[in-house]
Chains A and B, each alone.
Chain A
Amino acid sequence: MFGYVKPVPEELLVKEHAFYRALYCGICRAMQKHTGRLSSLALTYDSVFYALVRLMLTGDSCTARRFHCAVHPCRCRQCVEETPTLVFTARAFAVLAYGRVRDEQADRRGLIRIPLFFAARVLRRAARRANLPQLAERMQEELAALAALEKACCSSIDLVADCSGRMLGEFFAAELEGEGREIAYDIGFHLGRFVAAADAAEDYEKDKKNGNYNPYLYIGNGAFEEGERHAAYAALGGELLSLEEAILRLPHDRYPGAGNIIKNILYLGLRDRIAFLEPQERREEPVL
């Protein structure tokens, strides 16, 4: 999940949007402090969703303060002060970012490998400083399973998606207990599955051109035409329904503001990601 899980800011209340941005700043600061300055460059907006889910489950209270930072030198930014949840988010995302960059290193060819090499060096250190050996190990296992499926040219999207589902499930559930752990695992699991499948559908053309692995290339005659797009859309939608079920189990009354941002991400942000697969006759233009 990289840059995939975002809200539609136009539909947030102003205070919710401010909170969302303050959380992002807070995670970025926590990352600078706990995993190294440079590693915070690898941060994406997905981390805010992760932090929101975990905030709702742990019930940490957040206080905002204004800070100066190097990226925005001219204006002070609202920024949520460090809480254990934000620190954990920062550490978990350092590990995830390292996994991602390793994955890219394995796939990409050409000049892009030079910046990737440096990014990998920075993030390897960051992941080590994050000090989450169990999560890192689980991630390696799932990435290895994924690589094996890719090698075998697996045609079952569900089998491929399950790998990233399990991985994100572990990340969401880490260091939580009881019912909260189950809810977080389910959210992570369905989100991981959704992101993997939606990402594959989105990259279909690119992967076809570059000769990279993509599960949709091995379905039917590999053309990914109207009928198959329709089926993929329905299946991804079904995944969102499962995700919705898990999200509705969160204690929404405890953190109504956070709950609304999560709902915005689920109902608008994620739905928009698969709008390109939607059958033409049903697509409605939003009136704006």
Chain B
Amino acid sequence: MRDPYTVLGVAPDATEEEIKAAYRRLARRYHPDHFASDPQAAREAEAKMKEINEAYDILTRKGGSAGNGQATFAEIRQKINNGLFADAELQLDRMPAAARTAEWHYLKSIVLMRRGWQNDAMREVETACMMDPNNPEYARAREMLRNRFAGFGNAYGQSRSTRYDRGGYTQTGGCSSCDVCTGLICADCCCESIGFDLIRCI
């Protein structure tokens, strides 16, 4: 989703009055009734109107809910459940540092995960767990993220750990008695070639 301030065409420091005025102006311009004769234009106007409504919603709610974090978190969860991740992230990023509770970090991790940013998602969920160690939801999410990779490639790699241990092909890594004899014989040959003798009997 685009930045709501750009959608409404107002400056980021616009007052509530200015936002309202901009919203009214745009709503009048893109009202579907104006495009009754042209269905193509009507569809475009409808899409535009939806975007304007969303932007207005975000901007007007932001001012009113800054003090009441809980309500906004519920809304963000709703957005995440509905698949509006970009929107949810925008709202999260707009929250002041003071309102960034454990739940904020948890929700942020969901949004980051969705984007494929797993490193940062891990860090956010770790932070959430650190800030609120007793919350089962965060702990569960952390466990899930940590263990997602556990069974990776087992279907393929299984053969690797079992292929050799049944068929009698074992390699101990040290040297066998055979290796020792061979080594001694070689050493003896080398010595004899320069006129000494290592082992008398061979």
User: Which A residues fall within an 8 A CB radius of B?
Assistant: 8, 11, 156-158, 161, 197, 219, 227, 230-235, 237-242, 244, 263-264, 266-268, 271, 282, 284, 286-288
Contacting residues, chain A, for B162 (C-beta < 8 A): 287
A79 to B156 CA separation, bound complex (whole angstroms): 28
Selected contact of A288 from candidates B119, B153, B164, CB within 8 Å: B164
Q: How far is the CA of A267 from the CA of B159 in the complex (A)?
A: 12
Inside 8 A of B150's CB, which chain A residues have their CB? 282
Cross-chain pairs A/B with CB under 8 angstroms, 27 sampled: A8-B160, A11-B160, A156-B117, A156-B119, A156-B120, A157-B119, A158-B117, A230-B146, A231-B126, A231-B146, A234-B118, A234-B122, A235-B121, A235-B122, A237-B152, A238-B118, A238-B148, A239-B118, A240-B152, A242-B116, A266-B153, A268-B156, A268-B160, A271-B157, A282-B150, A286-B161, A288-B171
A237-B148 in contact given A271-B157, A287-B164 (Cβ < 8 Å) = yes
How many residues of chain B get a CB closer than 8 Å to chain A's CBs? 27
A271-B160 Cα distance, complex, nearest whole Å: 13
Closest Cβ of chain B to A281, distance in Å, is 12
Q: Which residues of A contact B171 (CB under 8 A)?
A: 288
A271, B153: Cβ atoms under 8 Å?
yes
Tell me whether A271 and B146 are in contact (CB under 8 A). no
- Complex Cα distance A242/B115, Å? 12
Residue B165 interfacial (CB < 8 Å) = yes
Point out the residues of chain A lying under 8 angstroms from B161, CB to CB. 284, 286-287
A234 touches B148 (CB 8 A): yes
In the assembled complex, the Cα of A282 lies from the Cα of B164 at a distance in Å of 21
Closest 10 A-B residue pairs measured CB to CB? A237-B149, A267-B153, A158-B117, A238-B118, A235-B118, A157-B119, A267-B156, A235-B119, A231-B122, A287-B165
* Complex CA distance for A241 and B113, rounded to whole angstroms: 13
Of residues 123 through 148 on chain B, the ones whose CB sits less than 8 Å from some CB of chain A are 123, 126, 145-148
Please indicate the chain B residues that have their CB under 8 angstroms from the CB of A197 in the complex: 119
| Complex Cα spacing A284 to B160, Å | 12
Which chain B residues lie closer than 8 Å to A271 at the CB level?
152-153, 157
CB-CB < 8 A to B164: which residues of A? 287-288
Give every chain B residue within 8 A of A287 (Cβ-Cβ). 161-162, 164-165
Chain A residues whose CB sits within 8 angstroms of the CB of B120 once the complex forms:
156-158
Q: A158-B119, A241-B149, A267-B152 are in contact. List 18 more A-B contacts (CB 8 A).
A: A156-B117, A156-B120, A158-B112, A227-B126, A232-B119, A232-B122, A233-B149, A234-B122, A234-B145, A235-B119, A235-B121, A240-B152, A244-B152, A268-B153, A271-B153, A287-B164, A287-B165, A288-B171
Interface members, chain B 49-69 (any A CB < 8 Å): none
* B164-181 at interface with A (beta carbon < 8 Å): 164-165, 171
Would A161 and B119 count as touching, CB distance under 8 A?
Answer: yes
Residues of A within 8 Å of B157, CB to CB, are 267-268, 271
Distance, CA A282 to CA B112, complexed state (A) = 27
Bound together, the chains give a CA A51 to CA B149 distance in angstroms of 27
